[in-house]
Amino acid sequence: MIRVDRVALRGLKARGHHGVFPREREEGQTFIVDLVLHIDTRPAAADDDLAKTVHYGVVAEEVVAVVEGEPVDLIETLAERIARQCLKHDAVAEVEVVVHKPDAPITVPFDDVTITITRSRA
């Protein structure tokens, strides 16, 4: 088994209108996304060639576009959409997505709500 390397993006912030309550849809809120992209960096490193890896700047822009895009009820659905977008990059074999919803409509004190999913090509 060949172990893959990891490229991590932490704290991507975007405003989205996701949630089941009308206020969430109307006003929106900040979502924070953490990603771990599992890739084999050896080809890129050997040739010092960006085309042989994943351009994490592009991935970051795409993820923000997903968060800012079409609203969904559940952060589980949002995480799935983000994972699918990341896996469109040929170099990405697997992705771990964490979606944070720090302003979730919860009536008791809390720090954060997250969903973590892992998706792969296989």
Q: Which positions are annotated as active-site residues?
A: 101
- Backbone conformation region of residue 19, classed left if phi is above 0, alpha if psi is from -120 to 50, else beta: left
- Compute the distance between CA of residue 82 and CA of residue 72 in angstroms, rounded to an integer: 12
Which residues contact residue 86 at a Cβ distance below 8 angstroms, ignoring those fewer than 6 apart? 35, 37, 59, 62, 63, 92, 95, 97
Q: Give the 3-state secondary structure of residue 71.
A: coil
- Compute the distance between CA of residue 71 and CA of residue 18 in angstroms, rounded to an integer: 5
Q: Residue for token digits 């088994």?
A: 1
